[in-house]
């Protein structure tokens, strides 16, 4: 019997067979199957399923929609040759559920089961084996859960699974930081900030790690990203701790104590002008760095091939040209 592969991240797909073929389901059948996969650990009374999935209709109509969707699922997933009840379990009391011992695999199920090993506090730390398992399962998260579905239960589950993904990234960031692998820790910090750019604590952690490995320019640039993200996402400026750390490492302030200028108040216009100058300088430096790296790459590529003896000089007189 062919195994079903169900993909709920980034949309909804069902594949079966070798080579894998798409199993086509109606929208309502997709809706029901997705619910049963996400809530695979229990059986569901039909009244609850009808009220959750077809709550905008009356009870009788919702029950009819549920029965139709379930009939269509069984017809597609349990065709002739597949014993009835292979995938779906029904009780005399009218409860319905997805058999967990049936031949099916779902990305969200594999994702959740592996991430249960993460401690409640990311700072508690992961073992080396646990970190490897968590890192291995992260590629399953190819997008938000059930993109294109906007029911209340979907939105709740989407947020819950998103939080699991964020917790995994944060746990790995701390794990590699504690292990002394700063570049790898920074990589997970940046992945986390892609999905939650307003996380000031992660911005600050990244700033400190960049500074620790001698990349002050990247630490300063991280502060600018933090400032821009906070302003854009929630309309606030960085916290006092983040600003003070930035002041410690900013050009012209090295060696000063963190509270040295506590009593001085900068003019808002002067401060704004200085920040504009700094931001332009950072962008210019980044562009120069990019040009230098491209030029070095080009030169390296050219050095792979020895100069040809027939190349002519500026006046057209090369080594192979006979003089008269």
Check whether domain 4-107 has CATH 3.20.20.10, yes or no: no
Instruction: Answer yes or no: are the C-beta atoms of 95 and 45 closer than 8 Å.
Output: yes
Q: What is the pLDDT of residue 122?
A: 59
pLDDT, tens digit (0-9, with 9 covering 90-100), for 120-142: 765 678 999 999 999 999 999 99
Whole-angstrom distance, CA of residue 87 vs CA of residue 71: 12
pLDDT, tens digit (0-9, with 9 covering 90-100), for 206-225: 999 999 999 999 999 999 99
Whole-angstrom distance, CA of residue 185 vs CA of residue 182: 5
Q: At what angle do helices 152-178 and 107-115 cross, to 10 degrees?
A: 50
Q: β-strand 13-16 against 44-45: which pairing, if any?
A: unpaired
Q: At what angle do helices 200-212 and 152-178 cross, to 10 degrees?
A: 20
pTM of the model: 0.76
Per cent of the chain over pLDDT 90 is 71
Q: How far is CA 296 from the centre of its chain?
A: 32
Instruction: Answer yes or no: are the C-beta atoms of 103 and 34 closer than 8 Å.
Output: no
Q: Is the pLDDT of residue 311 over 90?
A: no
Closest CA to 242 of 254, 232, 234, 230: 230
Q: How far is CA 226 from the centre of its chain?
A: 18
The boundaries of every CATH 1.10.10.10 domain in the chain are 4-107
């Amino acid at each position: 019997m062919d195994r079903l592969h169900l993909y709920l991240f980034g949309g909804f797909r069902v594949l079966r067979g070798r080579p894998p073929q798409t199993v086509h389901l109606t929208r309502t059948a997709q809706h029901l199957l997705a619910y049963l996969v996400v809530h695979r650990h229990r059986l569901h009374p039909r009244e609850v399923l009808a009220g959750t999935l077809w709550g905008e209709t009356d009870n009788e109509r919702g029950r009819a929609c549920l029965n139709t969707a379930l009939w269509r699922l069984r017809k597609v997933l349990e065709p002739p040759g597949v014993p009835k009840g292979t995938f779906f379990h029904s009780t005399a009391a009218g409860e319905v559920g997805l058999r967990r011992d049936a031949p099916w695999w779902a990305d969200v199920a594999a994702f959740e089961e592996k991430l249960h090993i993460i401690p409640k506090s990311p700072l508690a730390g992961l073992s080396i084996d646990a970190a490897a398992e968590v890192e291995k399962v992260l590629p399953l998260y190819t997008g938000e859960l059930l993109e294109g579905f906007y029911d209340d239960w979907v939105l709740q589950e989407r947020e819950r699974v998103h939080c699991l993904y964020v917790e995994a990234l944060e746990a790995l960031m701390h794990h590699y930081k504690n292990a002394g692998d700063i570049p790898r820790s920074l990589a997970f910090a940046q992945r986390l900030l892609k999905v939650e750019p307003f996380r000031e604590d992660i911005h600050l952690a990244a700033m400190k790690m960049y500074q620790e490995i001698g990349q002050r320019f990247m630490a300063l640039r991280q502060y600018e990203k933090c400032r821009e993200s906070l302003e854009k996402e929630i309309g606030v400026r960085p916290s006092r701790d983040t600003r003070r750390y930035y002041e410690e490492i900013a050009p012209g302030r090295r060696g000063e104590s963190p509270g040295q200028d506590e009593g001085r108040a900068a003019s808002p216009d002067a401060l704004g002008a200085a920040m504009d100058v700094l931001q332009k300088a950072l962008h210019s430096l980044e562009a120069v760095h990019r040009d230098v790296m491209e030029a070095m790459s080009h030169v390296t590529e050219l050095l792979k091939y020895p100069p040809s003896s027939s190349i002519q000089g500026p006046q057209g007189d090369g080594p192979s040209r006979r003089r008269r």
